[in-house]
Structure 1
Amino acid sequence: MENIKRTVRVLLPLPLADAYDYSVPEGLEVAAGHFVVVPLGKRLTIGVVWGEGSGEVAPEKLRDIEEVMPALPMADALRRFVDWVSAYTLAPPGAVLRMAMSVPSALEAPKTEIVYRAAATSDDAALKLTNARRRVLEQLKDGPALPAAELAHIAGVGTSVIKTMASIGLLEPVERTMRRSFAHPDGQRQGPELSPEQAIAAQGLVDKVLAHAFSATLLDGVPGSGKTEVYFEAIAAALASGRQVLVLLPEIALTAQWLKRFEDRFGAMPASWHSGLTSLERRETWRAIAEGRVGVVVGARSALFLPFANLGLIVVDEEHDGSFKQDDGVSYNARDMAVVRARLVSAPVVLASATPSLESVVNVSTGRYGSVHLPDRHGGRELATLSAIDLRRQQPARGRWLSPPVVEAMKRTFEAKEQTLLFLNRRGYAPMTLCRACGHGIECPQCSAWLVEHRFRRTLVCHHCGHAEPPARECKYCGTPDQFVACGPGVERLAEEALELFPEARLELFTSDSLMNRTEATAAVERMIAGEIDILIGTQMAAKGHHFPNLTLVAVVDADLGLNGGDLRAAERTFQLLYQVAGRAGREDRPGRALVQTHAPEHPVMQALVSGDRDRFVAAELADRRAAGMPPFGRLASLIISGPDPAAVDNVCSALARRAPHQDGVTILGPSTAPLALLRGRHRRRFLLKTSRDIAVQPLLRAWLERIGLPGSVRLQIDVDPYSFM
Structure 2
Amino acid sequence: MTETPGYAAVVPELRSILPRDTFTYAVGAEHAETAVPGARVRVPFGEREVIGHVLERVADCDVDSPRAILEVLDEPPPLLPHLVELARWVAARYRAPLGEVVKAMLPAGVRAARPRGRKRGPRTTSRGALAAAEAGAPEVPHPLTPAQEAAVAPLLRAIAERRHHRLLLHGVTGSGKTEVYLVAIAAALAAGRRAVVLVPEISLTPQTIRRFAARFPGRVALIHSALTEAERAAEWRRIRAGEADVVVGSRSAVFAPLSNLGVIVVDEEDATAYKQDRVPRYHAVDVALELGRLCAVPVVLGSATPRVESFYRAHTGDLELVSLPERIGGRSLPPVEVVDLREELHAGNRSPLSLELARALTACHAEGGQSILFLNRRGTATVVICRDCGEVLTCPNCSISMVLHAGRRSCDCHYCGATAAIPSHCPSCRSAAIRGLGMGTERLEAEVREHFPRLRLLRMDRDTVQQRDAYFDIYERFRRGEADCLIGTQMVAKGWDLAGVRLVGIVNADTALHFPDYRSGEVTFSLLTQVAGRAGRGDEPARVILQTYSPEHYAVRHATGHDYLGFAREEIRFRKALRFPPYSRLCVCTFSHADDAVARSRVEGALENLSGRLDPGSGIDVLGPSPAFLHRLRGEYRWQLTVRGTDLAAALPHLPAERGWSIDVDPAP
Q: TM-score, normalised by structure 1?
A: 0.84
Could you tell me which of 523, 541, 548 is aligned with 1:591?
541
1:449 Cα offset (Å): 1.0
1:101 aligns with 2:109: no
Distance 1:248 1:37 in 2: 33
Q: Following the alignment from structure 2 to structure 1, what is the Cα–Cα distance between the partners of residues 158 and 73?
A: 37
Asked if structure 2 preserves the Cα contact closer than 8 Å seen for 1:257 and 1:522, the reply is no
Q: Does 1:555 align with 2:561?
A: no
Alpha-carbon RMSD across the aligned residues, in angstroms, is: 2.5
Q: What residue identity is the alignment partner of 1:663?
A: P
Compute the displacement of 1:698 (Å): 2.7
Which residue pairs with 1:68 in the alignment?
A: 72
Q: 1:368 aligns with which of 301, 314, 318?
A: 318
1:188-337 → structure 2 map (5 Å cutoff)? 190-252=140-202, 254-268=204-218, 270-337=220-287
Greater shift after overlay, 486-495 or 188-197?
188-197
Give CA-to-partner distance per residue, 1:611-640, whole Å, 9 cap, x none. Answer: 333211211111121122211112211111
TM-aligned CA distance change 1:454 to 1:210, over 3 Å: farther
Q: Contact conserved, 2:459 with 2:487, CA < 8 A, in 1?
A: yes
| Rounded Cα–Cα distance in structure 2 between residues aligned with 1:237 and 1:397 | 60
Q: 1:427 corresponds to which residue? A: 378
5 Å matches for 1:66-145? 66-73=70-77, 74-105=79-110, 108-109=114-115, 111=117
Equivalence for 2:126: none
2:139–2:214 CA contact under 8 A, matched in 1: no
Bigger drift between 67-76 and 85-94 goes to 67-76
- SS at structure 2 position matched to 1:699: coil
Question: What's the offset of the Cα at 1:475?
Answer: 2.6
1:164 corresponding residue in structure 2: none
Q: How far does residue 256 in structure 1 lie from its aligned partner after superposition?
A: 1.8
Match of 2:63 in 1: 58
For 1:41 and 1:182, how far apart are their aligned partners in 2? 52
1:699 aligned partner, one-letter code: A
For normalisation by structure 2, the TM-score amounts to: 0.91
Contact 1:406-1:555 within 8 A present in 2 as well: yes
Deviation per CA, 1:373-412, whole angstroms, max 9, x where unpaired?
1100100111000111111223375542111111111111
User: Aligned partners of 1:309, 1:628: CA distance in 2, in Å?
Assistant: 43
Aligned 8 A contact 1:185 1:270 in 2: no
More divergent stretch after superposition (500-509 vs 95-104): 95-104
603-612 vs 212-221, which moves further: 603-612
AA matched with 1:536: L
Give me the whole-angstrom Cα distance separating, in 1, the residues matched to 2:600 and 2:61. Answer: 37
Contact conserved, 2:198 with 2:267, CA < 8 A, in 1?
yes
**Partners of 1:596 and 1:28 in 2: CA distance:** 65
User: Partner letter of residue 697 of structure 1?
Assistant: L
Q: 2:273, 2:26 → 1: CA distance?
A: 43
Matches within 5 A, 1:458-497: 458-480=409-431, 482-497=432-447
Task: Name the stretch that deviates more: 283-292 or 682-691.
Answer: 283-292
CA distance in 2, matches of 1:562, 1:626: 22
Q: Deviations over 1:277-314 (max 9, x none)?
A: 22322222222222222111111111212222222221
Tell me by how many angstroms 1:112 deviates.
8.6
Tell me how far apart the structure 1 counterparts of residues 300 and 657 of structure 2 sit (CA, whole Å).
43
Equivalent residues in 2 for 1:631-642, closer than 5 Å: 631-642=581-592
Secondary structure of 1:627's counterpart equals helix
State the one-letter code of the partner of 1:103. Answer: A
Distance across 1 between alignment mates of 2:361 and 2:230: 47
- Offset at residue 478 of structure 1 (A): 2.5
Residue 100 of structure 1, CA deviation? 1.6
Identity of aligned pairs, percent? Answer: 38
d(CA) in 2 for partners of 1:444, 1:197? 52
For residues 179-194 of structure 1, the aligned pairs below 5 Å read: 190-194=140-144
Specify the alignment match of 2:366 in structure 1: 415
Deviation at 1:463, TM superposition (A): 1.2
Q: Which residue number corresponds to residue 689 of structure 1?
A: 643
Q: Which runs of 5+ in 2 are unaligned?
A: 120-130
The 3-state SS of whatever aligns with 2:515 is coil
The range that moved more, 714-723 or 49-58, is 49-58
CA contact (8 A) 2:558 2:564 kept: yes
SS of equivalent residue, structure 2 residue 342? coil
Q: 1:299 to 1:6 in 2, by over 3 A?
A: same
Provide the rounded CA distance (Å) in 2 between the counterparts of 1:12 and 1:531: 53
Q: Which residue of 1 aligns with 2:127?
A: none
Q: 2:453 aligned to 490, 495, 503, which one?
A: 503
Kindly state the Cα deviation for residue 497 of structure 1 after the two structures are TM-superposed.
Answer: 1.1
Distance (whole Å) between structure 1 residues aligned to residue 98 and residue 663 of structure 2 = 14
For residue 269 of structure 1, report the CA deviation from its aligned partner. 6.8
The residue number in structure 2 matching 1:406 is 357
Conserved in 1, the CA contact under 8 Å of 2:94 and 2:664? yes
The superposition leaves residues 36-79 of structure 1 with CA deviations (integer Å, 9 ceiling, x where unpaired) of 1112234322211122358564333x222111123322222111
Alignment of 1:604-683 (within 5 A): 604-659=554-609, 660=611, 661=614, 663-664=616-617, 665-683=619-637
